[in-house]
Amino acid sequence: MAANAPIENIRNIGISAHIDSGKTTLSERILFYTGRIHEIHEVRGKDGVGAVMDSMDLEREKGITIQSAATFAMWGDYNINLIDTPGHVDFTIEVERSLRVLDGAILVLCSVAGVQSQSITVDRQMKRYRVPRIAFVNKMDRSGANYDRVAAQLKEKLNHHPVQMQMPIGAEDRLKGLINLIEMKAYYFDGESGEDIREEEIPAELLEEAKTRRQQMIEGVAEVDDQLGELFLADQPISNEALIAAVRRATIGLKMTPVMCGSAYKNKGVQLLLNAVCAFLPNPKEATNEALDQKNNEAKVILESDPEKPFVGLAFKLEDGRYGQLTYMRIYQGRVTKGDFIINQSNQKKVKVPRIVRMHSSQMNDINEATAGDIVALFGIECASGDTFTDGVVNYTMTSMHVPDAVISLAVAPKDRSALANFSKALNRFTKEDPTFRVHRDEESGQTIIRGMGELHLEIYIERMKREYSCEVQAGKPQVAYRETISQKGEFAYTHKKQTGGSGQFARVCGYIEPLPSDAVQQYEFVDDIVGGSIPREFIPACDKGFTEAVKKGSLIGFPVVGVRVVINDGAFHAVDSSEMAFKTAAIMGFREGYAAAKPIILEPMMKVEVQAPEDFQGSVVGQLNQRRGTILSTETAEGYVTAVAEVPLNTMFGYSTDLRSATQGKGEYTMEFSRYTPVPRNESEALMAAYKEKLAAEQAARK
């Protein structure tokens, strides 16, 4: 196998989609047709082997992808680095990470369900990193499959400019093959696993429709590509080469999305998709990658995929393998050889590269050097996810990945005291691997709190502790990440006086707190309006520190206070008794005084929930969401299924999956992602405050 293809022939691509659209099945087929594996296993296969790309036992049992797996394969003269990403919203960071280092992607859509909520999220992430993509309409063999409808949804729901490159021959259970509209040839996939491709003339009865569709395709490309547009308007003949070049330019320029179709499960259309990846998606040189120059005030620098330039690489994913930490790295510029010294830009530490491997899911092949455009894994390098490495000649960092805030927390403890060492080892590893998984110790209760993106996210980690670290864990009731804020302006004028033996403490701070506008980026703002030196300059930072500490814990239910601006405009000091400490204390107490006057309220996280179930269950699905204080945003029915989208408070969503299953005979499924914070209804907020008072009283009693 030729592993060092010229850079023009390298494709770094990812496959991402809504859960259950058949991403992992598609990856399996790609590996099979490129000769990386010699037999096909299904995701929920009866042989119990599971898909190659789902190398964790948990992934095989649940039939979902949790970690993005990386592999590489050769297709003709092209080296394809493939990353299979999770579709489940709780593992969104895995998708972010993969897209950060990819040059192109395949967006897989189900031919029956079309563009689903998670497809919208994934698409938003692709837009954030400006990743060109090909859409693949999968499951064309299913009843209710509709290629044209899904292509139309790409335009309606995602604002793409979709251009259909193929036409299916038959549909649903009569899907026989595909017509390539550029070459105007029909393709059939023979052999046990569709490995023998048969090219034939288009069947006579489909020729007219194919000609019409080819014309529509050319018009679609001409709309977004000037060169082809000129030929089209002048009625010039358009060669296949000119058409392919135009599709490539428009795809890389993010002006259009080529739409392909097929059925990965039935082995139809995957090889044509691979041809399209090589023909339409960019090589590393054609993708724009920026870094920030730390020596030049974080000025943007364009990295060139040139092996002779100074080395720049990004560690985008960590795994704890059998032989220690495995660091996945995308090399953007220069080269790295076994034995080289490279520098971690986050802490300026110099590390030696002991071993470089190319990954094939969980197997590895050793190599001696990797150059610009490659995605490889390194052993024995300590770093965190998202760190940039260079050879020391340049001082660049790659822009960091977008890490969303956690919305749910859980108190956890090992069941057995003897497993404590393993428990902390596991937590340490998971936080390094996954920036959205956070751990802290609650000083008051002494509990270990884990926080994450959803119930499933934390469930998986608890299960992994049990399996990989043989550490059984007890978990408390999940805790919602509430916030507190204020609804009006509140003034304060607080004097802090303490007289003990020797010098005392004196500080006075006056001012007000007010709500920040709802679109403000930061959640806390400090404004210093002191004139005439009523508080000396050196004590202003101490006031800011005091306020910063005060917003960490509101007085209603002890959660952080967000969306406040604190303004100080007056105060007083004492030449001997004033100190930083005194002003910090005065600020904390002053904030509490202003906070009480500003009509504080509690905010709760609202989740955007999308439920899909057979139409017969529409009443019970909507009813359940209403019972959980949900607001229905939309319901639509297609192909006998209803899709309901609602905003529901996270606090009421616990145990929803069980309820949904029992209400829909196990046929309903849902996805949920954080939407925004909104005020808690009055009766709820009173109950939360009463519970918080009880908790404080119990803690005080325990101290006595």
The whole-number pLDDT of residue 49 equals 38
pLDDT of 61 higher than 70 = no
**Model pLDDT, residue 94:** 59
Query: Residue written as tokens 């996270």?
Result: 650
Q: What percentage of the chain has pLDDT greater than the value 70?
A: 88
Helix (H, G, I), strand (E, B) or coil at 59: helix
pLDDT of residue 599: 94
Q: What is the DSSP letter of 348?
A: T
Q: Which of residues 249 and 377 earns the better pLDDT score?
A: 249
Q: How far apart are the first and last CA of the chain?
A: 72
Task: Estimate to the nearest angstrom the gap between the alpha carbon of 419 and the chain centroid.
Answer: 32
Residue range 123-130: mean pLDDT, rounded:
79
DSSP state of 469: S
Two structure tokens written together for 425: 């080892």
Cα 140 to Cα 264: distance, rounded to the nearest angstrom = 9
Decide if pLDDT at 237 tops 70: yes
Range 108-125 average pLDDT: 80
Q: What pLDDT sits at residue 58?
A: 44
In this structure, what token pair is assigned to residue 565? 């601006």
Please give the pLDDT value at position 392.
81
CA distance 391 to 379: 17
Inform me whether the pLDDT recorded for 399 exceeds 70: no
- Where residue 54 falls among pLDDT bands split at 50, 70, 90? very low
In this prediction, residue 222 carries a pLDDT of 92
Calculate helix-pair angle for 656-663, 618-627, nearest 10 degrees: 150
pLDDT tops 60 at residue 400: no
In angstroms, the CA 129 to CA 168 distance is 32
| Lowest mean per-residue pLDDT among 78-87, 225-234, 526-535, 688-697 | 78-87
d(CA 262, CA 135): 11
Token readout for 217 is 């395709």
Q: What is the number of alpha carbons within 13 Å of residue 279 lying toward its C-beta? A: 18
Residue 28 in tokens: 């399996």
How far is it, in rounded angstroms, from Cα 266 to Cα 329?
Answer: 34
pLDDT reported for residue 602: 94
Cα 445 to Cα 466: distance, rounded to the nearest angstrom? 24
Q: Tell me how far apart the alpha carbons of residues 122 and 326 are, in angstroms, rounded to a whole number.
A: 26
Q: Are 588 and 542 in contact (CB under 8 A)?
A: no
DSSP states of 115-137 as a string?
S-HHHHHHHHHHHHTT--EEEEE
Residue-wise over 269-286: b if at least 16 C-beta within 10 A, else e? Answer: bbbbbbebbbbbbbbbeb
What's the pLDDT band for 446 if we cut at 50, 70, 90? Answer: confident
Query: Which residue bears the tokens 């052993």?
Result: 379
Coil, helix or strand for 614?
strand
The answer to whether residues 508 and 583 touch, using CB atoms and an 8 Å cutoff, is no
- pLDDT class for 155, splitting at 50, 70, 90? very high
Predicted local confidence at residue 38, as pLDDT: 61
Is the pLDDT at 59 greater than 50? The verdict is no
Least Cα distance to 380 among 411, 348, 339 occurs for 339
Cα–Cα distance, 146 to 563 (Å, whole number): 47
Q: Are 260 and 168 in contact (CB under 8 A)?
A: no
- Rounded to whole angstroms, the Cα distance separating 449 from 439 reads 6
Specify the pLDDT at position 261. Answer: 92
Enumerate residues 6+ apart whose C-beta is below 8 A from 219: 232
Structure tokens at 557: 């239910």
Task: Compute the mean pLDDT over every residue in the chain, rounded to the nearest whole number.
Answer: 83
Against a cut of 0.85, is the pTM above it?
no
Structure tokens, 494:
């607080």
Tell me, what amino acid is at 279?
Answer: A
Q: Which residue has the higher pLDDT, 4 or 574?
A: 574
How many Å apart are CA 632 and CA 519, to the nearest integer? 24
What is the average per-residue pLDDT within 582-594? 94
Q: Picking from 280-284, 401-405, 496-500, 567-571, which range would have the lowest pLDDT averaged per residue?
A: 401-405
Residue 63: pLDDT above 60?
no
Point out the least confidently predicted range of 69-83, 185-199, 561-575, 624-638. Answer: 69-83
Residue 523, pLDDT > 90, answer no
Distance (Å, whole) CA 268 – CA 194: 6
The answer to whether 273 and 259 have CB atoms below 8 angstroms apart is no
Centroid of chain to Cα 517 = 27
Separation CA 378–CA 275 (nearest Å): 30
pLDDT 10s digits, 493-507:
999 998 766 678 899
pLDDT band at 488 (very low <50, low <70, confident <90, very high): very high
Q: 253 vs 98, which has greater pLDDT?
A: 253
The helix (run of H) or strand (run of E) holding residue 5 is none
Cβ atoms of 66 and 91 closer than 8 Å: yes
Whether 451 has a pLDDT exceeding 50, the answer reads yes
Measure the CA–CA gap between 656 and 523, rounded to whole angstroms: 31
Compute φ and ψ for 63, nearest 5 degrees: 70, 25
Residue pair 670/612 in contact by the 8 Å Cβ criterion: yes
Task: Report residue 71's pLDDT band, with 50, 70 and 90 as the boundaries.
Answer: confident
Average pLDDT over residues 48-57: 42
Which token pair is 429? 């590893």
Cα separation, 292 vs 395, whole angstroms: 8
* pLDDT for position 53: 43
What one-letter code names the amino acid at 518?
A: S
Q: Which of 390-399, 512-521, 552-561 has the lowest mean pLDDT?
A: 390-399
Can you tell me the distance from the alpha carbon of 220 to that of 477, in angstroms, rounded to the nearest whole number?
54
Phi, psi of 58 (to 5 degrees): -60, -40
373: tokens are: 């455009």
Pick 72 or 61 by higher pLDDT. 72
Q: Determine contact, residues 122/32, Cβ cutoff 8 Å.
A: no
User: Over the stretch 253-293, which tens digit does the pLDDT of each residue have?
Assistant: 999 999 999 988 888 889 999 999 999 999 888 877 777 77
Q: Has residue 303 got a pLDDT over 90?
A: no
Residue 153 CB burial class (10 angstroms; 0-12, 13-18, ≥19) = buried
Average pLDDT of 553-560?
91
CA 47 to chain centre: 32
According to the model, what pLDDT value does residue 447 have?
A: 80
**In which band, very low, low, confident or very high, does the pLDDT at 363 lie, cut at 50, 70 and 90?**
low
The mean pLDDT of 320-331, rounded to a whole number, is 75
702 or 69: whose pLDDT is higher? Answer: 702
At residue 435, does pLDDT exceed 80? no
Residue 65: pLDDT above 50?
Answer: no
In the predicted structure, residue 46 carries a pLDDT above the cut 60: no
Confidence of residue 436 (pLDDT cuts 50, 70, 90): confident
Arithmetic mean of pLDDT, 80-108: 70
Task: Return phi, psi of residue 241, to 5°.
Answer: -65, -45
Name which residue leads in pLDDT, 293 or 189: 189
Cα 508 versus chain centre, distance? 47
Per residue in 176-185, pLDDT tens?
899 999 999 9
According to DSSP, the β-strands at 10-17 and 78-84 are parallel
- The mean pLDDT of 539-543, rounded to a whole number, is 93
Higher pLDDT, 400 or 577: 577
Predicted confidence at residue 444, as pLDDT, reads 61
Residue 74 has pLDDT above 90, yes or no: no
SS3 of 233-244? HCCCCCCHHHHH
